Amino acid sequence: MVTAAAIDDSSLQLTFVLFLTVVVITLFTALLTAPQRDEISEFYLGNRAMSPLRNGLAMCGDYLSAATLLGSTGLVALTGYDGLMYLGGTTVAWMMVLLLIAEPLHRTGKFTLGDTVALRLPRQQRPVRVALAVCILAITTLYLVAQLVGSVALLTQFTGVPSGTTRTLCVVVIGTFVILYASLGGMPGATVIQIIKAVMLIVGVLFTAGWVLHRFDWNPNALLERAAERSGTGVTFLEPGLRYGGTVSNKLDFLSLELAIVLGLAALPHVLMRLLAPRSSSVLRSSVLWAIGLVGAVCFGAGILGLGATALLGRDTILDTDRTGNASVLLLAHELGGSVLTALLTCLAYLTLLAVAVGLTLAAASSLAHDLYSEVIRKGRASETEELTVARLSGAVIGILGMLLALVAWGANTATLAFLAFAIAASAILPTIIYTLFWRRFSAKGALLSLYGGLLCSVLLAVFSPVVSSAPASFYPEADFAWFPLQNPGIVSIPVGFLLGWLGTVLDKGPAEEAGTHEEFEVRMLVGADD
Amino acid sequence: MPEFPPRRDDTPTFPLPHIEHTPPSGISDHPEFHSLRRAQRRFGTRATILSVGGFLLYVLLSSFVPAVMNQPLFGHLTIGLALGLGQFAIMGVTAWCYVRHMRTRVDPLARGLRSRLHENENRRARAAAPPQGAGQPGQPLRQGTRGFRTW
């Protein structure tokens, strides 16, 4: 995968020191702000009195993963226009959250998505909660493994392909930090690391982007010209089709990917959990606006970084270091600011993936403890202390599961795993959210069918796609059972998820919910019970 | 029960059956409630279709009619790149419109209905039981009984 270590030893040592300093400081802060009492509301939602800016920073921190910092910039550096379009999708995804999901969900929600659905379908809430927990667990585990695999891939940039021991050590150290933050710190602890990470990410990316533009005398046209010149592809670099061009299936693949990214965000469990944290929906509105602005700024900066990497280093240097382009930001940092800037950005990348992993673990733990244990297994009779213990334990279990899977699949492509998680979120969970909020006939059977159906459909399509077999980069390159031509299942599985939800509801002949349930739900969704 | 003004005939986008089953809050058939729902839903759907659909259209155009997107505007800025930058502008404008719409059209209605809701509740002396399964968001949750610190 990698022919040479990208960065020298001194910046590796500096990175190590920086990363440890930041982690130790944030860990202490996280533990100091950890839930003081056995209160599940504090563990799940954290400090609810935070300002919109801080909430927005936390949302931004939860959302932007190392894939954005390293993967997308690499994509821009290697494929120009197609990579820029991908970055655009990352930002546009927030629009649906702002316009349709955030405030209704906030007014009807309590701790998890299961609570909202239970308010709407109280009689059959238990099977729906189980289905939601299964889907959330699938999404978070995939995404968590993607982050941990990303940490190994990042290490590869420094040391070449790491030995088994180094690999294990890297995953175990990161995974242990994740468990400590999530299980001990809960949401307050996670918020601390999200905010610190978001501030560092925004400052780091915008500062480096400014440096790149400064090199070109703040003339974007000069940057574009030089990037096209040194991309080895000339003007085509600034035209669509370098990555996702040629055949129709290639183009549909890109559309499928964008669809999953744009729709999947609104259904990602850790982002949904963040939406419930602000106390009032007016604070939530301003928070989401901040998040959109900050995410947009980071994506904009990342685009400049990608173009700058090609313009200053040339395509061949980037490709020689790492075929996937993930090294481009670090190479660019080395070119601009030597080993200090490289170390800073590497530390940032580690912190980014650590923070996202914490958010995911926490979301999975709260779903397991609240939906599965407290509401289904104990049928709502569990005490807060008990539920909290289960939440902390499940955080540890999920963290360990993620570590084991990451060690098995360390060679997997981080981006592929993350995209699959987005596709599952968009096809399994999004239909349930939309129908619950906006369709008065929606029934439990529809929810179950769309949750399980969307999950199965996206996973099966991924299994029978070139991701798993038949292509040189797939898990089993020798075998060939890839009858589904696209790498991203979204374009098929998202409509299937919505269709199944509709079908299940229409065919549902079971006992209806009590009259007035929907009216009450709607009143709460629009008028709200508070503020 | 307070007397409500008669229903406007254009309001019910969704007919609400079983009104006689005492709708729990008593305001879900109020005309203001209908216009609130319509105001919020219509704007949300339209704006989402505009921004998300617009972006997906841009992706499709880039994939299938690259010749148009590659027309240079000035320097190396092609129509495609300009439209990509335009996505950010559209998002900003949509977000601004959303905030303005909510502030002028939706929030006042919701506030009025909320006070009416509280009035009704007080009048009924809280006869209606709270919904089972999930508690009210935002209400102070039960305090932990013991004050020790657990990690």
Residues ≥6 apart with Cβ < 8 Å to A261: A86, A89, A90, A93, A419, A422
List chain B residues with CB under 8 Å of A92.
51-52, 55, 87, 91
DSSP annotation of A470 reads: T
CA distance B89 to chain A (A): 11
* H/E segment holding residue B45: helix B31-48
**Alpha-carbon torsion A501, A506, A512, A516, what sign?**
positive
Q: How far apart are CA A309 and CA A212, in angstroms?
A: 9
> Does residue A3 lie in a domain region?
no
A68 within 8 A of A75, measured Cβ to Cβ: no
Looking at chain A, the whole-number percentage of residues with pLDDT higher than 70 is: 97
DSSP B114-125: HHHHHHHHHHTT
> Does residue B141 lie in a domain region?
no
DSSP A438-463: H-TT--HHHHHHHHHHHHHHHHHHHH
From first to last of the 151 residues of chain B, give the pLDDT tens digit: 444 444 443 433 443 333 333 444 577 788 888 888 888 889 999 999 999 999 999 999 998 888 888 888 888 888 999 999 999 999 999 999 999 999 998 888 888 888 888 887 788 755 554 444 444 444 444 333 333 333 3
Find the CATH number of the domain harbouring A275.
1.20.1730.10
List chain B residues with CB under 8 Å of A440.
14
Q: Who among B16, B113, B136 is closest to A527 (CB)?
A: B113
State how far the alpha carbon of B129 is from the alpha carbons of A468, B1, B71, in Å: 53, 17, 65
Whether B76 contacts chain A with CB within 8 A? yes
> Does residue A443 lie in a domain region?
no
Q: Which pLDDT does position B125 carry in this prediction? A: 55
Q: Who among B16, B25, B135 is closest to A110 (CB)?
A: B135
CA distance B41 to chain A (A): 8
Exposure letters B110-122 (e unless 16+ CB within 10 A, then b): bebbbebbeeeee
The predicted model scores a pTM of: 0.87
**A300 contacts B25? CB cut-off 8 A:** no
Whether B11 contacts chain A with CB within 8 A? no
Range of the structural domain that residue A360 is part of: 9-411
Q: Which pLDDT does position B139 carry in this prediction? A: 41
Residue A354: exposed, middle, or buried by beta-carbon count in 10 A (0-12, 13-18, 19+)? Answer: buried
Q: Which pLDDT does position A62 carry in this prediction? A: 93
> Does residue B106 lie in a domain region?
yes
* H/E segment holding residue A297: helix A281-313
B73 within 8 A of B84, measured Cβ to Cβ: no
> Does residue B55 lie in a domain region?
yes
Q: Which pLDDT does position A290 carry in this prediction? A: 95
Range of the structural domain that residue B30 is part of: 26-123
Q: Which one of A85, A117, A385 would you mutate to disrupt binding with B, by most B Cβ within 10 Å of its Cβ?
A: A85
Q: Record the tokens describing residue A354, joined without a space.
A: 């650590």
Q: Which pLDDT does position A434 carry in this prediction? A: 95
Angle at CA of residue B49, ends B47 and B55, nearest 5°:
105
Residues ≥6 apart with Cβ < 8 Å to A502: A435, A446
Residues ≥6 apart with Cβ < 8 Å to B14: A440
pLDDT digits 0-9 by tens, A66-79: 878 888 899 999 98
CA distance B56 to chain A (A): 7
**A520 contacts B131? CB cut-off 8 A:** yes
Question: Looking at the 3D structure of chain B, how many domains does it have?
Answer: 1
In residues, how long is chain B?
151
A209 within 8 A of A301, measured Cβ to Cβ: yes
> Does residue A515 lie in a domain region?
no
A375 within 8 A of A117, measured Cβ to Cβ: no
Question: Looking at the 3D structure of chain A, how many domains does it have?
Answer: 1
Q: Who among B55, B95, B136 is closest to A88 (CB)?
A: B55
> Does residue A388 lie in a domain region?
yes
> Does residue B79 lie in a domain region?
yes
Q: Which residues of chain A have pLDDT under 50?
A: 1-5, 531
List chain A residues with CB under 8 Å of B70.
239-240
> Does residue A421 lie in a domain region?
no
Q: Which pLDDT does position A420 carry in this prediction? A: 92
**A384 contacts B144? CB cut-off 8 A:** yes
List chain A residues with CB under 8 Å of B55.
88-89, 92, 258, 262
> Does residue B35 lie in a domain region?
yes
Whether B59 contacts chain A with CB within 8 A? yes
**A100 contacts B45? CB cut-off 8 A:** yes
> Does residue B6 lie in a domain region?
no
Q: Which pLDDT does position B150 carry in this prediction? A: 30
> Does residue A526 lie in a domain region?
no
List chain A residues with CB under 8 Å of B94.
95, 99
**B52 contacts A527? CB cut-off 8 A:** no
